[in-house]
């Protein structure tokens, strides 16, 4: 069964994921020894804070129809489904960030995990965008996707440089 999601719920999940992304970038600085990658991680941590604020504002300004789902949910399973989808994200919880950071021992590991985080974010938000019925809600989620794609591009460039 395919569920319809609403933009309000997507932005709340996005806010939580962005917080965990910020935490990752800040904590990963302890294992990153390349100055350029440190700079990128510091900038991305700051951008994650900006994204959180942006997503909070977008969530507050969603039109009424952006907050309504497109399916009936008499058994109240929609929330469980959204949580299950979000839990598949590499950094859905702060505990997940700490657990994954234990395996990061160098700059390459940190870059690869950051890329995984950004890819998961893009996939998650595209999935939610597809499942959101309201056009305006879909457009707002599209903005979120573009932000994450830019992070992915920057990180991929740094990984390519690090690999030489």
C-alpha 158/C-alpha 23 separation (Å) is 20
Segment 101-149, tens digit of pLDDT: 999 999 999 999 999 999 988 887 787 777 666 676 678 778 888 988 9
The mean pLDDT of 5-30, rounded to a whole number, is 84
For residue 153, tell me if it sits in a domain. yes
Per-residue pLDDT, 155: 97
151: containing domain: 1-59+105-164
pTM assigned to the model: 0.80
C-alpha 108/C-alpha 28 separation (Å) is 11
Alpha-carbon Rg for the chain in angstroms: 16
For residue 1, tell me if it sits in a domain. yes
> What tokens were used for 156?
């991929």
Segment 67-107, tens digit of pLDDT: 554 444 556 565 566 666 667 777 767 777 888 899 999 99
The strand pairing partners of 5, in sequence order, are: 132
Of residues 162 and 82, more confidence is placed in 162
Q: Where are the alpha helices (DSSP H) in 29-134?
A: 35-61, 78-87, 94-101, 107-131
- Is the torsion defined by CA of 17, 18, 20, 24 positive or negative? positive
Identify the CATH number of the domain in which residue 31 sits: 1.20.1260.10
> What tokens were used for 97?
């960030």
For residue 87, tell me if it sits in a domain. no
Residue 29's alpha-carbon distances to 53, 70, 95, 114, 156, in angstroms, are 23, 42, 18, 12, 17
For residue 35, tell me if it sits in a domain. yes
What's the structural domain count of the chain?
A: 1
For residue 6, tell me if it sits in a domain. yes
- Is the torsion defined by CA of 92, 49, 158, 28 positive or negative? negative
- Is the torsion defined by CA of 127, 130, 131, 135 positive or negative? positive
Per-residue pLDDT, 30: 92
Per-residue pLDDT, 1: 33
């Amino acid at each position: 069964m395919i569920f319809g999601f609403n933009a309000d719920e997507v932005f709340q999940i996005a806010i939580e994921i962005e917080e965990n992304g910020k935490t990752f970038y800040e904590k990963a600085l302890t294992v990153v020894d390349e100055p350029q990658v440190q700079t990128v991680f510091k900038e991305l941590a700051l951008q994650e804070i900006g994204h959180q604020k942006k997503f909070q504002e977008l969530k507050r300004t969603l039109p009424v129809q952006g907050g309504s789902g497109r399916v009936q949910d008499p058994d109240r399973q929609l929330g469980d489904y959204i949580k299950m989808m979000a839990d598949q994200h590499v950094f859905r919880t702060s505990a997940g960030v700490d657990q994954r950071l234990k395996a990061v021992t160098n700059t390459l590991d940190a870059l690869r995990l950051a890329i995984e985080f950004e890819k998961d974010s893009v996939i998650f938000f595209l999935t939610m965008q597809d499942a959101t019925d309201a056009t305006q809600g879909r457009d707002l989620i599209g903005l979120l996707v573009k932000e994450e794609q830019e992070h992915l591009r920057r990180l991929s460039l740094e990984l390519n440089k690090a690999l030489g």
